[in-house]
Structure 1
Amino acid sequence: MTSPLLVGFLASFALIAAIGAQNAFVLRQGIRREHVLVVVSVCAVSDLLLITAGIAGIGAVITAHPQMVTVAKIGGAGFLFIYGALAARRAMKPSTLAPAQNGSARLISVVLTCLTMTFLNPHVYLDTVVLLGTLANQHADSRWLFGIGAVTASVVWFFSLGFGARCLSGLFAAPMTWRILDGLIAVTMIGLGISLVVS
């Protein structure tokens, strides 16, 4: 029989690794080397809280009140459109591309953006709270072991993505590479926003 710890790790890793707004934000901060430890810590702690809530039964409450997800969907779509527009603006204006040109973003601004990316994403409630919570509770007395595996996957993923992105910093010394990255982020964010609206 497969260990709940391993099942939790693999299930969580598969969900977190999907391309999304939060991962794109972590990648960008990692490449810029701006407040990386804070960003990945906020993401990991947020997942810890959400996974714990799911295992504790909050997922059932969300399922019973779908309007909560609808509110998050509308707010999330609006935020993604705004963030996508800002990324498109950065891609169009070379003066705002590299850290050396634009200076370091304020910590409070980065933290608020990270929290918004996390908690205004309705998929975080459906995937992390409802789905992982349901999977965990299938393991009965071992559900918290499943939770430890899921949280471990989150920590491994975000720290690897945030600090691993530094390896790409040489490539991003050229302004054109930043324009391409911000252009891709803009397309991703706006695309995700549209998918939320039409889903």
Structure 2
Amino acid sequence: MIGATATGFVTGFALILAIGAQNAFVLRQGLLRTHVFSLCLLCATSDALLITAGVAGFGAVAEHYPSLPLIMTGGGAAFLLAYGLLRFRAAWRGDYAMTLEGRSPSLAATLATGAAFTWLNPHVYLDTLALIGAVSLQYEEAALRTAYGAGAVTASFVFFFSLGYGARLLAPFLKSERAWRWLDIGIGVVMWALAARLVADLF
């Protein structure tokens, strides 16, 4: 039981460790120190739902809807391009008065953006429904499979809350408009790079 839980934790943590659009958004929000708990809870809970579905064997759903991956990929790429453009525009304008005061969009807007990063990302379905679900097949007993899924879900909660609240450790280095401008440029580059990869997947 412990071994299955540990395997699930390591597998889940490894899949979400890479810097992605969702992680970059959580990091930025963590630096602002606003709506951090709600955003982390949203991201982790969303992952938990997808992981549970994957372990339960619903990874084959996409086979019944062959157009779904194409729709999700196109929508995800468009969203990443748009958000990346927003970050580049913010860096160009350089108006960070509200940012330096720790102010950010409303809770509803923050959660809507976080949900979009999660559910419009086709790779999240590959990671949770397909990969995590596939690894769970090695456990024939329901109890072991449940323990594996619980480990993966726990990894998601640990990661997002560590990222969101750990971001404040970088706050001392982001007390100037110049620093925030470079951060937004970096996030914009990440967003557009991920969008390019999604577009490449279409061909």
TM-score (norm 2): 0.93
Shift of 1:34: 1.5
Gaps of 5+ in 1: none
Aligned residue pair count: 199
- Residues of 2 paired with 1:57 and 1:197: CA distance? 28
Structure 1 pair 31–102 and aligned structure 2 pair: CA distance change class (3 A): closer
Structure 2 CA distance for aligned equivalents of residues 91 and 123 of structure 1: 28
Residue by residue, what CA displacement relative to the aligned partner does 1:45-102 show, whole Å, maximum 9, x if unpaired? 0011000111112111224534211111000000000000001011111214652458
Instruction: Quickly say closer, same or farther: Cα 1:97–1:147, change in 2 above 3 A.
Output: farther
Aligned 8 A contact 2:34 2:103 in 1: no
Render the CA deviation track for 1:31-55: whole Å, top value 9, x for unaligned: 0111000110001100110001111
Return 58-67 or 164-173, whichever deviates more: 58-67
Residue identity matched to 1:125: Y
Distance 1:5 1:109 in 2: 35
**Corresponding residue number in structure 2 for 1:24:** 24
| Separation (CA, whole Å) in 1 of partners of 2:125 and 2:158 | 20
| 2:12 matched residue in structure 1 | 12
2:34/2:102 contact within 8 Å kept: no
Provide the rounded CA distance (Å) in 1 between the counterparts of 2:175 and 2:80. 27
SS of 2:34 mapped into structure 1? coil
Unpaired stretches in structure 2, ≥5 consecutive residues? none
Shift of 1:137: 2.3
Q: TM-score, normalised to structure 1's length?
A: 0.95
User: Deviations for 1:157-198, whole angstroms, at most 9, x for unmatched residues?
Assistant: 001000000111111111111011100000100110011011
Deviates more, 1:139-148 or 1:77-86: 139-148
Aligned Cα root-mean-square deviation (Å): 1.6
Amino acid at match of 1:191: A
Q: 1:2 to 1:144 in 2, by over 3 A?
A: closer
How far the C-alpha of 1:29 sits from its partner, in A, is: 0.2
* Distance (Å, rounded) in 1 between the aligned partners of 2:39 and 2:23: 11
Cα-to-partner distance string for 1:121-175 (whole Å, 9 max, x where unaligned): 0000011111101111221211111000000100110010000001111111111
Distance in 1, Cα, partners of 2:84 & 2:66: 26
Q: Are 2:148 and 1:146 aligned?
A: yes
Question: Counterparts of 1:15 and 1:127 in 2: how far apart (Å)?
Answer: 7
Stretch of structure 1 that moved more, 22-31 or 86-95: 86-95
- Aligned equivalents of 2:12, 2:102: Cα separation in 1: 36
Instruction: Tell me the distance in 1 between the aligned counterparts of 2:167 and 2:41.
Output: 15
SS in 2 for 1:25: helix
- Cross-structure match for 2:176: 174
**Overall identity of the aligned pairs, in %:** 47
CA distance in structure 1 between the partners assigned to 2:97 and 2:63 by the alignment: 42
